[in-house]
A and B are shown apart, each in its own frame.
Chain A
């Protein structure tokens, strides 16, 4: 253990004797005491007597530096004496005066105007990057369609499997749940009017026009949008994106195009699947209300037109482009470090879902005026 004794033989001098092991484990209690001994005696010259120090590691050296670094009058100087030669050499590596000032900190934006300016600029840069990315993406997709052989189809198929096929269970689960909830909640209300049969219309229309595509897109954003951002973000952090660029391979063509194409192909399929499972869920609930399966079926088929389905699928395609595009964009925008990858993935999901909701609203208005 480390020990400290303070003695003041006369008015001008004092002795601070340290003894034992000065190491990180034992210094905690005496650190403050040693400092206070100095600050309480600003006019005495102080000798730090280390003759009885057996061991002194980095933390012990730090304590000595701490005692030596304080600014004091020349007649009240602090000296370290009696430190064993090896430890003295460790201490001599440092000039205590260097550690008087706190380490330099980076300037953080000062005034309100300056911060406003910075925020505005970063907002503009974000929009500018988005526009650039949309442009590059469109060019690359058009180029891919004109020269299908230039697309890395193998990557696209792998992504399609991961984002599409492997998403079936979760899409099925949520789709079924949607159908059941929708049917059950509306059936309870409609039974009061003896209108249970219209539950079929409600489930059919809501699933095909809105909920199927919307829910699929939100699941896609959470599963694959985040995955795209994390994967491309990690590649960015590891300089892999730069490696592609210096090989003359356009990261957008190489990384973004296969993902967007795969997502566009998969989203409508997943969406159809979700609608069908939702209808099955609705049918299951209808059995509880004693509506025969065939009645339910013919009501759905009569009520839901091809228009409704096509409108829903068209939305799905657009959602697929948005989710995959935003995932890739956030990945490519990743700064450095592990934390940045996490931020990119988060931002991909949040931006993806916000865009889905906004675009869905726009579609609702358009479909209303076009009477689809």
Chain B
């Protein structure tokens, strides 16, 4: 996508401050995510990546600032407006958050059963296709507890994609995946973003995956409580004048600058 094109803003975060009691995690964070791009939220552990995502999807209310999804303010959306908003989102949680009392197929079918008019056999097939997409064909009738951590994570991704959401949030999708599956998954994300125009917001610290899939990234830092870099990950790696950013992208220890 050329920079001169006017791009449709899907997510707009304005002066967001995230705080729990008197502990401030993020301060005055602003950025925009455009339609159809794969947007990475990077940063070391504890830098507030997950907290940021949870504010965007409306799980937490911002201490200050506002978040808009497709022009609608998330915190202000109530009742039907909120449901309509949530239907546009798919969220994969860091630890999977699969329902332990349901098989994988039932986990993926659940949103389809609740939100669509599709006949039962259609729902089953859609769910099987999603599971195939993350390499879990043959495990449809297993319970989440019978799977390894990486497989649970893949199933969680399949569930997040069940309704083909307009915006897909992935919280550390590639951690816990073997390199081959992770690479396959990267390709899947790219295909979805390019063909269906899905916007993907991915929280990650997997550098290889970042360089493959992310069009743009922001990088958060724990001490700065906010964004220390924004842009194309390749350019940031080569050209950033911030040592914190260069260390991160080149996978170097931070000790020498500290």
Contact = CB atoms under 8 A, between A and B. Distances in A.
Contacts of B195: 86-87, 89-90
Interface stretch (B121-129, B215-223, B227-235, B247-255): B121-129
Given A59-B118, A105-B141, A94 B129 contact: yes
Given A24-B116, A62-B129, A337-B144, A57 B164 contact: yes
Interface in A320-364: 335-340
Given A24-B118, A28-B119, A103 B143 contact: no
B130 interface: yes
A90 to B, nearest CB: 6
A23 interface: yes
Interface size grouping (class) on chain A: 35 or more
Interface stretch (B17-25, B61-69, B131-139): B131-139
A135 interface: no
Contacts of A61: 129
> Residue among B112, B129, B137, B141 with the most chain A CB within 10 A?
B129
B129 A58 contact: yes
> Residue among B118, B137, B138 with the most chain A CB within 10 A?
B118
A40 interface: no
A25 interface: yes
B46 interface: no
Contacts of B141: 103-106
Given A24-B116, A57-B196, A337-B100, A99 B125 contact: yes
Contacts of B115: 24-25
Nearest to A95: B132
B238 interface: no
A103 B119 CA distance: 18
A104 B140 CA distance: 8
B117 interface: yes
B224 interface: no
Contact of B125 (A62, A105, A335, A340): A62
A99 B144 contact: no
Given A24-B164, A103-B140, A93 B133 contact: yes
A28 B117 contact: yes
A31 to B, nearest CB: 5
A58 B105 contact: no
A335 B101 CA distance: 12
A65 B163 contact: no
Given A65-B125, A66-B122, A94-B129, A59 B101 contact: no
A32 interface: yes
B87 to A, nearest CB: 9
B163 to A, nearest CB: 6
A284 interface: no
A63 interface: yes
A29 interface: yes
A336 B145 contact: yes
A27 B133 CA distance: 21
Interface in B85-129: 100-101, 105, 112, 115-119, 121-122, 125-126, 128-129
A29 B119 CA distance: 9
B191 interface: yes
Given A24-B163, A57-B164, A339-B100, A98 B117 contact: no
A103 B101 CA distance: 19
A24 to B, nearest CB: 5
Contacts, number: 95
A338 B164 contact: no
Nearest to B188: A93
B42 interface: no
Nearest to A105: B141
B155 to A, nearest CB: 13
Contacts of B140: 103-104
B20 to A, nearest CB: 22
Contacts of A66: 121-122, 125
A88 to B, nearest CB: 9
A2 B33 CA distance: 30
A89 B188 CA distance: 11
Interface string A21-63: 0011101110110000000000000000000000101110111
A48 to B, nearest CB: 16
Nearest to A24: B116
B117 A336 contact: no
A338 B126 contact: no
A87 B192 CA distance: 10
Nearest to B163: A24
A66 B123 CA distance: 11
A89 B191 contact: yes
A302 to B, nearest CB: 58
Interface string A157-171: 000000000000000
B126 A58 contact: yes
A63 B122 contact: yes
B53 to A, nearest CB: 23
A28 B116 CA distance: 7
A24 B109 CA distance: 12
22 contacts: A24-B118, A25-B116, A25-B117, A28-B116, A28-B118, A28-B119, A31-B118, A55-B196, A57-B164, A58-B162, A59-B126, A59-B164, A62-B122, A62-B126, A65-B129, A90-B195, A94-B132, A99-B132, A104-B138, A105-B141, A337-B143, A339-B100
Given A58-B126, A94-B132, A337-B145, 13 more contacts: A24-B126, A27-B122, A28-B117, A31-B122, A58-B129, A59-B112, A62-B125, A90-B191, A103-B105, A103-B141, A106-B141, A336-B145, A337-B101
List of 8 A-B pairs having minimum Cβ-Cβ separation, nearest first? A337-B100, A28-B117, A336-B145, A86-B195, A103-B140, A57-B164, A339-B101, A62-B126
